[in-house]
Amino acid sequence: MADDRLIDDEALSRSLSHLRQDANERELGAALERVIAATRLLFSATGAGLMMIDDTSMLRFVAATDETGRLLEVRQEEVGHGPCVDALAFDRVTYVTDLAGDDRWPASVTELSEVGVRALLGVPVHAEGIAVGALNVYRDHPTEWSDSEVRALEAYSTLIESMLRSAFMAHERGEVVQQLQHALDSRVVIERGVGVLMGRHGIDAVEAFNRLRHDARSSGRKVADVAAEILAQIPGNPR
């Protein structure tokens, strides 16, 4: 690998762009990086990797612990077929006891048995109940995966699901926060604009607001923008 970063930021960004990720992307990226790095230790694996679907529903490489793991994902991404692709496509655990001679997969994938990918376990990763990715671990020796290993990896993948969910919620709520802040800010401006019009024309608040709104509608602007313009025209106004 060119550097020791486990996450391909660009790939992650591409994969999550359709879910309107941005502010939390770096934090989510760091968290996923940690998840994948720990996977190797927690599951006595030679390596581990994560793939997620992008905005065209294609499964893309997101993270891997090592160069071999990266190759494993990139090859599957290229041919659109393989154990991790199956884990996502069929939304179920995919077991590979020994990749060497496993004729379910394309040659470009099975030939990775020569560089240390022998046993492989892939589990789907969900968002809102839909499979959106696959977490996989591999070992450099053939393995009959035990039920407890499979259950443990499935349980572990729910941590990734939890992280995705938290990141999406933080993002959605962040947008609400922005809208609320904007609403509060414009409220102050509109109130002051209404006050100015009341004083200037000797009208009441309802009439003043209706004038603001009429001006806004006829010029295709926001009420707060019209109010801000009125305030800006007052000599010596700090705004």
Residues numbered 98-157 forming contacts with other proteins, rule: CB under 8 A: 148, 151-152, 155-156
Give the nearer residue to other proteins in terms of CB position, either 115 or 155: 155
Give the full edge-to-edge strand order of the sheet including 94-96. 59-64, 47-53, 130-139, 119-127, 94-96
CB of 184: closest distance to other proteins in angstroms? 6
Tell whether residue 177 is a contact of other proteins (CB under 8 A). yes
Give the count of beta carbons closer than 10 Å to the beta carbon of residue 32.
24
CA distance 231 to 26: 40
Stretch near other proteins under the rule CB under 8 A, chosen from 33-41, 46-54, 67-75, 103-111 = 33-41
Give the nearer residue to other proteins in terms of CB position, either 111 or 154: 154
CB of 97: closest distance to other proteins in angstroms? 22
CB of 117: closest distance to other proteins in angstroms? 22
Tell whether residue 45 is a contact of other proteins (CB under 8 A). no
CA distance 238 to 36: 53
Tell whether residue 228 is a contact of other proteins (CB under 8 A). no
Stretch near other proteins under the rule CB under 8 A, chosen from 72-80, 104-112, 120-128, 172-180 = 172-180
CB of 103: closest distance to other proteins in angstroms? 32
Q: What is the 3-state secondary structure (H, E, C) of the chain?
A: CCCCCCECHHHHHHHHHCCCCCCCHHHHHHHHHHHHHHHHHHCCCCEEEEEEECCCCCEEEEEECCHHHHHHHHHHHHHCCCHHHHHHHCCCCEEECCCCCCCCCCHHHHHHHHHCCCEEEEEEEEECCEEEEEEEEEECCCCCCCHHHHHHHHHHHHHHHHHHHHHHHHHHHHHHHHHHHHHHHHHHHHHHHHHHHHHHHCCCHHHHHHHHHHHHHHHCCCHHHHHHHHHHCCCCCCC
Stretch near other proteins under the rule CB under 8 A, chosen from 11-19, 83-91, 106-114, 206-214 = 206-214
Tell whether residue 176 is a contact of other proteins (CB under 8 A). yes
Size of the site for other proteins (CB under 8 A): 46
Give the nearer residue to other proteins in terms of CB position, either 87 or 224: 224
- Binding flags for other proteins, 3-32, as an x/- string (CB under 8 A): ---------------------x--xx-xx-
CA distance 152 to 193: 62
Footprint of other proteins (CB under 8 A): 24, 27-28, 30-31, 34-35, 37-38, 41-42, 148, 151-152, 155-156, 158-159, 162-163, 165-167, 169-170, 173-174, 176-177, 179-181, 183-184, 187, 190-191, 194, 204-206, 208-210, 213, 223
